[in-house]
A and B are shown apart, each in its own frame.
Chain A
Amino acid sequence: MRPPIQYARLQERFRRGSALIEFTLVGTFIFLPLLAGLASVGMNMVTAMQAANLNTTAGQMFSSGQWDAGQLQTMLPAMAGTLNSTSPGVGGVVILSEIQNTSNGYTCTQLTPITIGNGGATGASKYCQAGAVNPPFNMVVGQTAFIAETYYINPNLAWVFARAGTSNGIYEVAVF
């Protein structure tokens, strides 16, 4: 018969081993996915909010008429903060369009797209394209709508965007 005190020590050793296994299992299948998910959502949220704020600001500045195209080209990248990254492939484009319902129908004009960051996402306006005007709503004659659209991508966060269902990038639109 094993001395009782030795049996207790052996059981203690087994307990330690099983705690490690439990911790590993719980950590691997519960905590790590949770943390990764949180990080994914968080990073996506931050980038999306930055892009949304930049897009809204761009639209507001454009619609106010207080800044011309050249000034917007200079100011928006400066206002983009960390979105205006110098890392290769990280960046996007802001497209500013103006749609007017004239007595002869809809017309639209578009500024030269404003590049944010170092390359990255490109895209076309969904509202103002060559030969096609797609007004955001039925506008009364004489009304003008100003539209800001932003495409943004960061390859390092591509998996984040993909997990968030944003097709590897962010698209924001604001109508003024």
Chain B
Amino acid sequence: MRNSFPEVFPAVPTDKRSGSALVLAVLFIGVLVPMIGLAIDGTNVYMMRNQIQNALNAAVLAGNRSLNLAADIGSQTANAQTVAMNTFNANTANMYSGVNMADIVASSFHVKQNANMTITVSATGTATLPLMLMGMIPAITGPTVPFSASASRRSTNIMLVLDHSGPMGFNPAIGTPLDVLKADATDFVNNFAQRNGASNIGLVTYTGAPFVANALPNPYPNYQPNVTANISLMAASGWSMTNTAAAMSAAYGQLRALNQPGALNVIVLFTEGLAGAFTGNFAGLVTSPPPAYCNPGASPLNGLLWSNQLEARFGGLGDITANSINDTPEARGAPACTSDTYVPDQFLSAMPTSDIYGNSTNGTGTASLYTQVDLTSIDANDITAAAENALDDAANRARGDASIPATIFVIGLGGNPAAIPPDPLLMPRIANDPASASYNGNQPAGQYIFAPDTAHLQAAFASIASQVLRLAAR
């Protein structure tokens, strides 16, 4: 009925006014409940999605790490799928029961290796996530979310090059540097084995001549027992010759022969002395009349030339072929000579311009002269200079190779009164350490770590292991 006197009677009856609060509350709840639902379910879905994605990431990483547990790609794939699925399940064990991840199964994980020796484990799948609050409304279902993850790493080949020359046996009463080296180098190998971080690890030991104790290929799991076994056999030779150039060339020769261009090829060199020896072909350099103890007609007339600046001594020509880990061929005369104890300036007219591996002794090779050398003046200083040039060139050729560039890490040990410490300028240079004044940005960057005493060796090896793993990850 029309109200003709609004100023006399209230506009709305009291009983109808009180109903408006209920209507407003219902309307408000109609807005509020979806908002709350969105806040709770949205956050919850985000967290579940985050957890599943993290679990999938962890699964492909674990699967990738497990690849070396088998030899062929078929077994590797099966292993990776098992490990990845187990890891995924372990990480999603406490998920809400309403999560439907039936789409993510072992076969969702794929293993692929490309021509560049990069191995990738990838996975894709979907999961339907439940809605805790809004799911109570039958018409509303949870979202189906796609997931994907992949982890790649390069195949990694490592050559360990370990110096076990005489001074490494210094002061056995308190534990020799060699004892510490053996323990830390073993940890280094075990570190890679536990993480399956390397495809191959080989070993070169050296004093006056290198010995390839573990040639490549030497894949996981073999390298863990056989490299560590050979490390444990090392003994300080009693001779102080340090033919680092030959050791570097022998190690790089293994990587070159393995011929994996896309792999991360690494040389880890440990030395505690100045590089003071090199292996040369002295044919044509023997003076006339020839001495009785060397056959000048022998070709090649290969021998070792060494210097010991600590004792101001030098000598040659020693044998250049080590027959076992602890063999000291430098104690024998070269095949064409009867003794190694003669002073070379008495029967050599000059030193060769390169060692037998093709490394320049006077800077005419791939690297400019590192140390000034007079090849015709054969004394302790010039032999050391030639040996350092040879090492510099050996490293430069290994790093600069167009198809198999090597990344070089060097650990130098000091604090040994029985040895002249490694050259502090040459060592960063051969590692191509970015801190070196001669750093070459076109070659792989490595690092030189100087351990002032044996207590720092473990950290040095651990640091290098960390960097190799970082470089291998993609």
Contacts and interface: CB of A to CB of B under 8 A. Distances in A.
A and B assemble together: yes
Interface of A: 4-5, 7-8, 11, 15, 18-19, 22, 26, 34, 38, 41-42, 45, 48-49, 52, 56, 59-60, 63-68, 98, 100, 136-140, 142-145, 173-176
B466 A68 contact: yes
Interface in B65-99: 65-66, 69, 79, 82-83, 86-87, 89-91, 94
A65 B7 contact: no
Given A49-B50, A52-B54, A142-B69, 10 more contacts: A4-B7, A4-B9, A5-B8, A18-B18, A42-B39, A60-B58, A65-B197, A68-B466, A140-B83, A144-B196
A139 B2 CA distance: 86
18 contacts: A4-B9, A5-B7, A19-B21, A56-B54, A56-B58, A60-B58, A60-B61, A64-B469, A64-B473, A65-B197, A66-B467, A68-B466, A136-B90, A137-B86, A137-B87, A137-B89, A174-B91, A175-B62
Nearest to B221: A142
Interface string B255-287: 000000000000000000000000000000000
Contacts of B86: 136-139
Interface residues of B, number: 49
B346 interface: no
Nearest to A171: B94
Interface in B190-217: 191, 194-197
B50 to A, nearest CB: 7
A87 to B, nearest CB: 25
Contacts of A42: 39, 43
A149 B195 CA distance: 19
A109 B303 CA distance: 50
Nearest to A68: B462
B465 interface: yes
Nearest to B39: A38
Contact of A143 (B9, B32, B47, B83): B83
Contacts of A18: 18
Given A22-B21, A175-B62, A67 B466 contact: yes
Chain B interface SS verdict (over half): helix
B10 interface: yes
Contacts of B9: 4
Nearest to B458: A68
Given A5-B7, A66-B470, A174-B54, A144 B195 contact: yes
B466 A66 contact: yes
B310 to A, nearest CB: 35
A132 to B, nearest CB: 18
A34 to B, nearest CB: 6
Q: Which 10 A-B pairs have the closest CB atoms?
A: A137-B86, A136-B90, A175-B90, A66-B466, A4-B8, A65-B469, A65-B195, A144-B194, A66-B470, A176-B58
B466 A48 contact: no
B469 A66 contact: yes
Contact of B43 (A45, A66, A176): A45
Interface string B38-64: 011001000100110010011001100
A145 B62 contact: yes
A145 B69 CA distance: 13
Contacts, number: 105
A15 to B, nearest CB: 7
B87 A175 contact: yes
Contacts of A41: 39-40, 43
A143 B66 CA distance: 7
Contacts of B94: 173
B194 A100 contact: yes
Contacts of A67: 466
B47 A49 contact: yes
Contacts of A65: 191, 195, 197, 465-466, 469
A57 B289 CA distance: 73
B36 interface: yes
B14 interface: yes
A150 to B, nearest CB: 13
A49 B51 CA distance: 9
Nearest to B44: A45
A94 to B, nearest CB: 16
B435 interface: no
A144 B51 CA distance: 22
Nearest to B66: A143
A74 to B, nearest CB: 14
A63 B82 contact: no
A24 to B, nearest CB: 12
A52 B467 CA distance: 27
A8 B10 contact: yes
Nearest to B5: A4
Which of the listed residues B54, B94, B463 has the most CB atoms from chain A within 10 Å of its own CB?
A: B54
Contacts of B82: 140
Contacts of B62: 63, 145, 175-176
A100 B17 CA distance: 74
A11 B12 CA distance: 11
Contacts of B87: 136-137, 145, 175-176
